[in-house]
Amino acid sequence: MGTERFTFPVDTAVAVEAAELTLEQYVATHVRDAEGELLAVSEPFSTHDLGTGTYSIEFNAPIKMYIRVEGSLEVTAGATEMTFDFGDETTILVGARSYHDNPATTITTTADPADMMKAVSALGSALKTTSCERSYPTLRGHPPMIELGDELDIPETLDTPETGVTIEVRPSLEEIFVVASLAYYLGATIKPGEEARIITDNGYVHPLGEGTAFEREVERVLKQTFFLDCLTSTEGHYLDSLYERIVVEDRIQFDFSERYARSISDQLEIDLQVPFDTLEPDMPQWKLTTHISQSPENVEILPFLVNDLAVIRTPAAHTVTPSHAQTAAVDEFMRDEFTRSSAGGASQQISVVQPESTDSLEQAWVGEDAPIGATKATVSAFRNRLHRDVKYEDIDITVVCNDEAMVDEHNVAADVYGSREELPFTVNLETNLTVEALQEILESDTDFFHYIGHIDNDGFQCTDGRLDAATLDSVGVDAFLLNACRSYNQGMHLIEGGSIGGVVTLDDVIDSGAFRIGSTMARLLNRGFPLRAALTIASDQTVIGSQYLVIGDGSVDIAHAESLMPYLCDIRSREGTYDVSIRTYPTKCMGLGSVFRPYIGDNQLHFLSSGHLKTFTVDTQTLQEFLALEEVPVVLDGMFMWSTDVELTA
């Protein structure tokens, strides 16, 4: 059926007959009238009797879903269930929009900077709106792909917005790459100039500087305009009480309702008069900073970085060796502890770098080296994700343990994966596999592969020899954890063969530390954390954490969080009260611009993702009720545990 009757964009829609709709879990819901005016926002343990009318119901679920119905409506929400009562049986229109759509087409460009500028300028064609609501991730479409070729070819089907914003840069790949995310978000046209600057159609000019100052100023403009759009969007369809707006609006001198009605070019002139230092303390922590060299072929990864609104920098790092990445504490343990190194086989030869630190939640590195503390991003991994078909069957997880001495991790993984009753998991447990049996698993379609055992440069150790992943005909595994010593090269072979992302090691790892990382990651992935976030948390629990890194697409996950956005609680106990700081982690479904409301105490505020929210001070009963809502990772007075294991004393 047609989709034009919905207030917001939807990809597809159907009509069904029903008198009542029941959801088996609570989902944040907005109810609007036929004109789009907000009538009610659902909360746990609430009821809204709205009478007879025409209603648009919006569900903030892993798939953005809308219902349009004419008739009576009563919405009842409990802690784990919701009911929508329409009175008599009636026709309801159900529409859906994916959070993470694929690129619509492919742009071809040469290595010439003039062509590169035109190609990157066309990425803004994926924006679903040029209003400040594009700060919502669902209204920023995935940019078209870019391929390096012999001539420039921008498909005529791409409709690039005319926002009146031009970004002039010097004709170098370095500057073109750095402004890619900003140009996309502003719907700007990139043109050559003698100096880097932003120019609007009303004559406003904002210089961007050069060198390191240029990169930092581009980053500042991106973060500042995005943040102010998030605050301004509360003037539109969403009237949620946004914490960041409440604490910021007294510091700035313009009217949000007036800004809401202005064009992007007008908004820029308003925004950039505000000192960045005024806003920065309350900005959400940026999700991703990517270090990317100015090789022409790296233009092909830009659309995937831009899709995450990544801050893009030129590489700044120093070279280290895998062994030097280990701390003195690791060396001390290694003298006496059992490691997961193989008895024989060649060692992997890799170049390792330590990227310059940033204040983003995650870092990525695009280059030949293996990075410490960052994801090694590759264009093949992102493309592999696009080529995967949408699955409607169970989530397939395979756990393989090829060394009986490591069976404890195998047993923990067996208990954890698929322990969420509301999600359709199929968990396959294997031990002591032959080369042929392991090859069959890696070539079969599998959502997640968790390997426990020995790996060296010759491959995975099996009962009858070694399997080199480079020899596989294809790879059907989407994501993986290779919890073995020196698994980097074998993991890269899996990515090149078809995988999307995985966790690997750079050098020998202590068995006890590997067990802790493997078992912790299993629980985090099961609770909806993406690979990179799961590894970041798990690595903090052991001295060997620096030996692990994510390769490919670090945002890949195997499940969604019960609250849609995974989070960690840092709790500090005081006399009779607790300080609770919540740290949220963006996902593919809930990217930058998403909002999160913690149901703790009497909190009515929403917060922008990602990073730390405000600190809540609560009593014992309130904290117990909050921790009972779902199983989440907790750091209680410096000790990592899970909410289900927390014991509080009154």
- How do residues 293-352 score in pLDDT, each as one tens digit? 989 999 999 999 999 999 999 987 667 766 555 554 455 455 545 554 555 555 567 889
* Residue where one domain finishes, among candidates 307, 328, 363: 307
Q: Are residues 286 and 340 in the same domain?
A: no
**pLDDT at position 329:** 46
Q: Is the pLDDT of residue 494 over 90?
A: yes
Q: Is residue 412 part of a domain?
A: yes
**pLDDT at position 161:** 93
Q: Are residues 71 and 164 in the same domain?
A: no
Q: Is residue 312 part of a domain?
A: no
**pLDDT at position 151:** 96
pLDDT band at 81 (very low <50, low <70, confident <90, very high): confident
**pLDDT at position 529:** 94
% helix / strand / coil in the chain, to the nearest 5? 30, 30, 40
Q: Note whether 196 and 184 are within 8 A (CB).
A: no
Q: Is residue 285 part of a domain?
A: yes
The structure's pTM equals: 0.87
**pLDDT at position 604:** 87
Q: Is the pLDDT of residue 265 over 80?
A: yes
Q: What span, in angstroms and rounded, lies between the C-alpha atoms of 198 and 25?
A: 47
**pLDDT at position 98:** 63
Q: Which residue has the higher pLDDT, 19 or 25?
A: 19
Q: Are residues 546 and 574 in the same domain?
A: no
* Residue where one domain finishes, among candidates 98, 114, 137: 98
Q: Are residues 93 and 110 in the same domain?
A: no
Q: Are residues 124 and 166 in the same domain?
A: yes
Token pair for 59 = 């569900």
Q: Are residues 175 and 198 in the same domain?
A: yes
Q: Is the pLDDT of residue 26 over 80?
A: no
SS3 48: strand
| pLDDT average, residue stretch 367-393 | 85
SS3 635: strand
- How do residues 187-213 score in pLDDT, each as one tens digit? 999 999 999 999 999 999 999 999 889
pLDDT band at 33 (very low <50, low <70, confident <90, very high): confident
| pLDDT average, residue stretch 277-285 | 95
Q: Are residues 88 and 72 in the same domain?
A: yes
Q: Is the pLDDT of residue 282 over 80?
A: yes
Q: Are residues 280 and 186 in the same domain?
A: yes
Q: Are residues 214 and 273 in the same domain?
A: yes
Q: Are residues 636 and 533 in the same domain?
A: no
- Can you say whether residue 387 is alpha, beta or left, with left for phi > 0 and alpha for psi between -120 and 50 degrees? alpha
User: In which domain, by residue range, is 83 found?
Assistant: 12-98
Q: Which CATH number belongs to the domain containing residue 428 in this structure?
A: 3.40.50.1460
- How do residues 217-263 score in pLDDT, each as one tens digit? 999 999 999 999 999 998 876 666 899 999 998 888 788 999 999 99
Q: What span, in angstroms and rounded, lies between the C-alpha atoms of 106 and 143?
A: 9
Q: Is residue 561 part of a domain?
A: no
Q: Is residue 2 part of a domain?
A: no
Any idea which of 175-184, 302-311, 322-331, 568-577 has the lowest mean pLDDT? Answer: 322-331
Q: Are residues 414 and 521 in the same domain?
A: yes
* Residue where one domain finishes, among candidates 245, 279, 307: 307
Q: Is residue 182 part of a domain?
A: yes
Q: Are residues 412 and 523 in the same domain?
A: yes
Q: What span, in angstroms and rounded, lies between the C-alpha atoms of 248 and 231?
A: 9
- How do residues 394-426 score in pLDDT, each as one tens digit? 788 999 999 888 888 888 877 877 666 656 678
Percentage of residues in the chain having pLDDT higher than 70: 90
Q: How many domains does the chain have?
A: 4
- How do residues 116-154 score in pLDDT, each as one tens digit? 999 999 999 999 899 999 999 888 999 999 999 999 999
Q: Is residue 474 part of a domain?
A: yes
Q: Is the pLDDT of residue 539 over 50?
A: yes
**Sequence-separated (6 or more) residues with CB below 8 Å from residue 294:** 172, 173, 174, 177, 314
Q: What span, in angstroms and rounded, lies between the C-alpha atoms of 179 and 306?
A: 10
Q: Is residue 6 part of a domain?
A: no
Q: Is the pLDDT of residue 502 over 50?
A: yes
